[in-house]
Amino acid sequence: MNHKNLKDYIENNDCSDKLPFISTITLNNDTQLKGIIINKDKHFLSFYNILLILDEPTLYHFTETCLDWWWYSNQKIPINLFYPDKMSYYTSIIEHYPMKGVKDISGHIASLTKVVEGSRPYKKTTPVDREK
């Protein structure tokens, strides 16, 4: 894909086949946003709004970094924790929304809550009475 057409492609297409890390967020007022979700919990959604990147070379670099994260990580760890130095350049496009203002999310969702819950070495169990 030519990087000159990348922004137009992202804005006007379902990117899940070629750029699976891009999620579409629909707000309650039917505004659609596209980006990479940093974290979603029951109260807030934080993500990089890819539509705020205005120049094509920067968008191309951002997309290449996202592709590296997608293929070289387990995709559970948010991109900003996997590549903290590279992603610090893009803090200006991070947006936060309360979940009560989000109507729908489609695409990949990163959640630190799920990472923490999944890292517990044991599950809660109830004691079992053993007959002697």
Instruction: Enter the pTM of the model.
Output: 0.80
Average of per-residue pLDDT values in the chain: 84
Q: Which tens digit of pLDDT belongs to each residue from 55-80?
A: 889 999 999 999 999 999 888 889 99
Domains of the chain (ranges; CATH) run 3-113 (2.30.30.100)
Region 112-121 average pLDDT: 70
pLDDT in tens, 93-110: 999 999 999 999 888 888
CB 34 within 8 A of CB 49: yes
